[in-house]
Amino acid sequence: MTMVPKGYRFAVAAAGFKKADRNDLGLILSIGPAVAAGVFTTNRFQAAPVLVCKAQLAESPVARAIVVNSGQANACTGEEGLANCRVTQEIIARAARVQPEEVLPASTGVIGAQLKMDLWEPAALKLAGCLGRATPMDVAKAMMTTDSFPKLVAKSVQLSGGEVRVLGMCKGAGMICPTMATMLGFVICDVDIEPKTWREMLTFCADRSFNALTVDGDTSTNDTVIALANGASRVRADSKADLELLRQCMLEVCQELSYRIVQDAEGGTKVAHITVSGAKSHPQAEAAARAIGNSPLVKTALFGCDPNWGRIVAALGRSGAEFEPDDVVLKIGGILVFEKGQPAPEDLDALLAPVMRHQDVKIELTIGPGRGTFTLLASDLTKRYVEINADYRT
């Protein structure tokens, strides 16, 4: 049984946005006002729901509901798309008996198509009838597109005033390279917390989870993570110790969700844990890790279980990170592969063969004496990924 934070209800409906008889609309409703925070795509083409959410959160740090649909991204749809998004807020607000400005929208699907507005009113009636009878898992399933499984994580943490619960759900399997990645994520909590602190906590956790993974190097137009904290537990978090405990719990939820996104990468068979340390700065370490994780040659080698370490150091060399080649130390699965400008003298193919067959492959690079470090989760690149994305609209 999933440990659900207090004071939330859930609903789903089959609206028929893409396929009939499949739940493709989900609602998360807080029974009272909740502190709200969001992080969003950095893509210059931002979908209508992203623009609406950003404007809403800039106006007020309080919300009551998150509504998410799959099958229609409402991205690159101009003023009509923005107007339609605001109409859906009004439709959902009536069904949930809240104010339109208390509804935060999120969408995923094909870019460019306008929302099928005639389907929203009937779907909202279904949501209203289902409210309180659906589960968080139902909502997680309703927002799936090419995902092969729903992604849901729940944890609790004991603060000085009592127990607080954190639940997260997300979708995403392709078009994933968040600086903020097509991913959507929702985190709900029953803690009582200041809005500014909640925003800072979400940003901290997102930077170390959703912003530290890649499937294919593509950042979507719709990427959104929204976090709500409604205070229903009546447990206040304001001491340094309590805030650190809560932040760690939230980070664990976000990191587990991030792992599942990479694990579910379209056609993926591997999760590479790429850690770069010793860089001159954290941004340089990140640049190095992303160059490796997004390299098609590295990714195809992972798929082929080929310990072709030369592809890794070549990607590092073009990453823009500053280092001396002789300072680089590379380990794969804990096995020393490269140092002082040359490969280790052992039979590396034989040593690395069992390592490369595992689902999880650790790639560790030390590139100097600096303090910069970054860890990235990355998937491999498979024939199935090409098939899925070649057929995405057909």
With the C-alpha atoms ordered 204, 101, 219, 260, is the resulting torsion angle positive or negative? positive
8-263 architecture in CATH?
4-Layer Sandwich (3.60)
Q: Does 182 qualify as catalytic in the annotation?
A: yes
- 394 exposed, middle or buried (CB, 10 Å; 0-12, 13-18, 19+)? exposed
User: Which tens digit of pLDDT belongs to each residue from 170-200?
Assistant: 997 655 454 434 589 999 999 999 999 999 9
The average pLDDT across 47-64 equals 97
Residues 6+ apart with CB under 8 A from 344: 336, 337, 338
Which residues partner with 166 through β-bridges?
155, 189
Indicate whether 17 pLDDT > 80.
Answer: yes
Q: DSSP 3-state assignment of 298?
A: helix
Using DSSP bridges, classify how beta strands 62-70 and 25-40 pair: parallel, antiparallel or unpaired. antiparallel
Q: Which residue has the higher pLDDT, 175 or 6?
A: 6
Question: Distance between CA atoms of 276 and 212, rounded to whole angstroms?
Answer: 12
In this structure, the number of other CB atoms found within 10 A of the CB of residue 360 comes to 14
The average pLDDT across 33-60 equals 95
Question: Distance between CA atoms of 63 and 102, rounded to whole angstroms?
Answer: 4
The average pLDDT across 197-218 equals 88
The CATH fold assigned to 271-390 is Ubiquitin-like (UB roll) (3.10.20)
Q: What's the token pair of residue 274?
A: 């790429």
Identify the band that residue 109 occupies on the pLDDT scale cut at 50, 70 and 90. Answer: confident
- State the pTM of this model: 0.87
Indicate whether 311 pLDDT > 60.
Answer: yes
Identify the band that residue 130 occupies on the pLDDT scale cut at 50, 70 and 90. Answer: very high
Q: What is the DSSP string of 64-130?
A: EEEEEEES----S-HHHHHHHHHHHHHHHHHHHTS-GGGEEEEEES-TTPPP-GGGHHHHHHHHHHH
Q: DSSP 3-state assignment of 36?
A: strand
Residue 178: the pLDDT is 47
Residue 392: the pLDDT is 58
The average pLDDT across 370-383 equals 93
Question: Distance between CA atoms of 156 and 113, rounded to whole angstroms?
Answer: 40
Break the chain into its structural domains and give their ranges. Answer: 8-263, 271-390
User: Which tens digit of pLDDT belongs to each residue from 66-100?
Assistant: 999 998 999 999 999 999 999 999 999 999 999 99
Q: What phi and psi values does residue 120 have, to the nearest 5 degrees?
A: -75, -45
Residues 6+ apart with CB under 8 A from 342: none
Contact between 156 and 165 under an 8 Å Cβ cutoff? The reply is yes
Angle between helices 309-317 and 282-293 in degrees, nearest 10: 130
User: Which is the catalytic residue, given 108, 182, 219, 221?
Assistant: 182
Q: DSSP 3-state assignment of 142?
A: helix
Q: What's the token pair of residue 19?
A: 């396929």
